[in-house]
Structure 1
């Protein structure tokens, strides 16, 4: 006869917190890639601070800074890899590795960068969000001249509310 393992409530609570934090980072990437700045803003606490290459400031200043930069691009895709979360009660350190593809920039051209999102996360009123973010750039590679036209007709991504994901969500949220 084997003993059954009963989950320890603190362990389950920690797993749920880590999942919630992971989803904050995923929503941030979706918001950037789909040019949904409201979704990006929702990943931060209102008094949050962001540090990116070429930028340091409040979340409102960050949104005002990144929006026009994203609008210049044809698009972006952020791929998350390793993600480690260290919990300290209602505060956590989140480190997520990312490969970020950018295309269609009118003067810089296409490029890919490797980065880590190092976040100080806080749970306030039961909600995990970014209190302070460091987007640590590890490397950048030019992809100029490497993009090609699609091989055939088919679904394509869109930004600013016109993506297939937006249509599907609207259909299910009638």
Structure 2
């Protein structure tokens, strides 16, 4: 059973890695979440990971930021090295104030065909299933303080670099 718990944890880490990559605009992290021959099905996209990453970069370039919250997560194993992972999430997207159409939150599920290859769990095929979307209105921060960034000056990036990670 402990091996299965380690597998579940590793699979959940793949999902978290993907979300961090999107939110920090670190497309190499996004790519790492997939096997090299991985397939993705998103709203407006179907194709290989090599096609998905540039499509995602273009989709995110007009946004100021995104934030993914991972919720319920369940894994069904199909043998030792294949699993079906379902992850509930909410993802908020925001652009500049004049770009109202870019400000929305969506409820979705990642339905992932995961495989362990060479000891590494990663996405073989993903369906990003959108359940609902609602428009959002964003306001300026109420006070000065730390803000998320999508570059090397983000507090997480600074801290990771400080410790050589």
TM-score by length of 1: 0.90
Cα distance in 1, alignment partners of residues 102 and 41 from structure 2: 23
Query: How far off its partner does 1:25 sit?
Result: 0.2
- What residue number does 1:138 align with? 131
CA-to-aligned-CA distance 1:113-149 (integer Å, 9 cap, x gap)? 0000000000000000000000000001011xx2111
Secondary structure of the equivalent of 2:149? coil
Match of 2:84 among 77, 87, 93: 93
Quick one: distance in 1 between partners of 2:8 and 2:127?
A: 19
Q: What is the DSSP-based 3-state SS (H/G/I as helix, E as strand, rest coil) of the residue aligned with 1:108?
A: helix
Given that residues 34 and 161 in structure 1 are in contact (C-alpha distance below 8 angstroms), is that contact kept between their aligned partners in structure 2? no
Larger Rg: 1
Q: Which segments of 5 or more consecutive residues in structure 2 lack a partner in the other structure?
A: none
Q: 1:19 and 2:26 equivalent?
A: no
Consecutive unaligned residues of structure 1, counting only runs of 5 or more, are 1-10
RMSD: 1.1
Query: Deviations 1:85-117 (Å, cap 9, x if unpaired)?
Result: 111210000000000000016362310000000
Distance 1:50 1:39, change over 3 A: same
**CA distance, structure 2, for counterparts of residue 109 and residue 76 of structure 1:** 10
Distance (whole Å) between structure 2 residues aligned to residue 162 and residue 102 of structure 1: 20
Q: TM-score normalized by structure 2?
A: 0.95
Whether 1:170 aligns to 2:161 is yes
Q: Which runs of structure 1 show a deviation greater than 2 angstroms over 4 or more consecutive aligned residues? A: none
1:81 and 2:71 correspond: yes
- The corresponding residue for 1:118 is 111
For 2:19 and 2:150, the matched residues in 1 are separated by: 13
Q: How has the CA–CA distance of structure 1 residues 33 and 39 changed in structure 2, closer, same or farther, with 3 Å as cutoff?
A: same
Q: Does the CA contact (< 8 Å) of 2:31 and 2:53 recur in 1? A: yes
How far did 1:151 drift?
Answer: 1.1
> SS state of the match for residue 72, structure 1?
coil
Distance 1:59 1:109 in 2: 24
